[in-house]
A and B are shown apart, each in its own frame.
Chain A
Amino acid sequence: MFRTYRTATISLLTAAFALHCAAQRTTFQLEKFLKPELGVNQQEEKARAEMMELLDSKSKVVQGKPYSAQSQTDVVQTLADGNRIQRHTSSKFYRDNSGRTRSEQTFSAINPSIPGETKIFIDDPVASVAWVIDPGSHSARKLVRSGKYLAEHNGETQPAAPAKLPKLNEGRDIVVEQLGQKTIEGVECSGKRDTITISAGQIGNEQPVVIVTETWTSPAIGAVVQSSTTDPRFGQTTYQLLHLELGEQPLDLFELPAGYQIEGSR
């Protein structure tokens, strides 16, 4: 009996040692074979993650209200530990008297790792074409606008937004207040305040969540000039038009610059 116990004990110790060695060997092999691959994969994933492509842009065709402006958007989110996450995006916008538009936009709000990459979109309802321009790769893609598309996006006959999304704030308590008139960047703006209240328990919240958005819109340009949103869940967002200039814009702004390689149209 004693010999049985002795044999079993020795076997168990041997087995434990063998298992330990196997684990060490497996770990070693994983480190040996996966580490270089992880490095490559990480680089590939980073490159793929950085790929960002502007496909299309849709807006109302607004005629007779030409202007140019820069805009900047700042999102500041304060975390529970006091840390802050800040994101900043900027853009330039041009519109001529015929409703042609040009927007130069960065999309760092989508991918903060590439804040400086600018995409240009030119919409020309007169020529029924649109251009997606990528200054980074010096390439452009042509989009053909159909008559139906232009009719649907004509501001006079179809003042609605270009695409209707299902409302997320269904069931919310929304209070709208008119804030009167105010001059911002030299144009008269009318303001309103939307207060959205998510009642207690709706999303597991102990107290009501109050989200406040103030929006100042200029009828002269048919666009929002200033807005701010305070959402306790996602922080504070401010949007501001800067260097607003009313007046006709040069036609070459709405044409494809020379030297760009044209890719397949859609």
Chain B
Amino acid sequence: MKHPEYELNMILHQLHNEHRGIEAPSNLEDLLVQRSRLNAGSAASQRWSRAWGLGFALVVIAAAVVWWASIHAPSSHPPQQIVMLPAPAIQTPPIQQAPTAPQTVAQGQANSRHITQRGQRHAGYSTQVEGSVVFATSFLPLPASEALPEPAQQSIVRARILTSSLAQYGLEVPASIAPQLVSAEFLVGEDGLPRAIRFVR
């Protein structure tokens, strides 16, 4: 019995002998070469298209990320020094007298200057308290106590307050400043109502 592989080889050999005389047309090679070059050019074009598309998308992504970060990132503006009081150690936001009626920018600036000048006339102080130096500004009269009777007794009360609560005393912190806790000392009359405030550190 002949081996199956031997029979297969014999059949293939016969086919080879039968098709030995058949040759491809002479221009087939040139056509295939041209077609191959054409396909190669098309593939390169596709690669360039994809590269341009990806590049454009990357630029758009970068722009979107920058835009998103600019919206969600905290403000890069440095904290502003207090404008009404001269003590350099105080890191509190600028405070103005709260206007009770629409106030123009010029009027607001004028008020700020007025307070600044007043603060400069009355310098801040520093004192030694229980081994630590306390820096404080001068007292600033509160607009809310403008018409109250002059107190016969003045108590000094220190408290930690939110800057957003200064509005109840007639002082206003710009809305652009985030609320923060500050140490303040109040001059309080015998009626329990604060007459003046100074900021301490």
Contact = CB atoms under 8 A, between A and B. Distances in A.
Contacts of B155: 54, 56-58, 103, 105, 121
A59 B152 contact: yes
A151 interface: no
A12 B59 CA distance: 10
15 contacts: A15-B64, A16-B64, A18-B61, A52-B159, A73-B191, A110-B186, A119-B157, A121-B155, A204-B102, A206-B101, A211-B147, A224-B191, A229-B148, A237-B148, A266-B130
A49 B162 contact: yes
Contacts of B121: 166
A264 interface: yes
Contacts of A111: 159, 161
Interface in A1-17: 1, 3-8, 10-12, 14-16
Nearest to B67: A19
Contacts of A166: 118, 121-122, 141
Interface of A is mostly: mixed
Interface in A195-236: 196, 203-206, 209, 211-213, 215, 222-224, 227, 229, 231-234
A256 to B, nearest CB: 18
Interface in A74-126: 75, 89-91, 93, 101, 103, 105-111, 119, 121
B192 A107 contact: yes
A161 interface: yes
A148 to B, nearest CB: 16
B38 interface: no
Interface string B186-201: 1110111111100000
A51 B149 contact: no
Nearest to A1: B49
Contacts, number: 207
B152 A89 contact: no
Contact of A73 (B46, B152, B159, B193): B193
Contacts of A161: 150-152, 154
Contacts of A11: 53-54, 56-58, 60
Contacts of B177: none
Contacts of A196: 146-147
A223 B152 contact: yes
A169 B145 CA distance: 10
Contact of A7 (B53, B72, B130): B53
Interface of B: 46, 49-50, 52-54, 56-58, 60-61, 64-65, 68, 72, 97, 99-104, 107, 111, 118, 121-122, 129-130, 139, 141-162, 170, 181, 185-188, 190-196
A89 B148 contact: no
Among A206, A234, A266, chain B packs the most CB atoms within 10 A around the CB of A234
B143 A168 contact: yes
A263 to B, nearest CB: 9
A110 B101 contact: no
Contacts of B149: 213, 215, 224, 227, 229, 239
B187 A109 contact: no
A107 B107 CA distance: 33
A123 to B, nearest CB: 9
Given A55-B158, A110-B188, A163-B187, A169 B146 contact: yes
B159 A53 contact: yes
A121 B155 CA distance: 9
Given A15-B60, A58-B154, A203-B101, A239 B147 contact: no
A4 B49 contact: yes
A234 B61 CA distance: 52
A266 B103 CA distance: 44
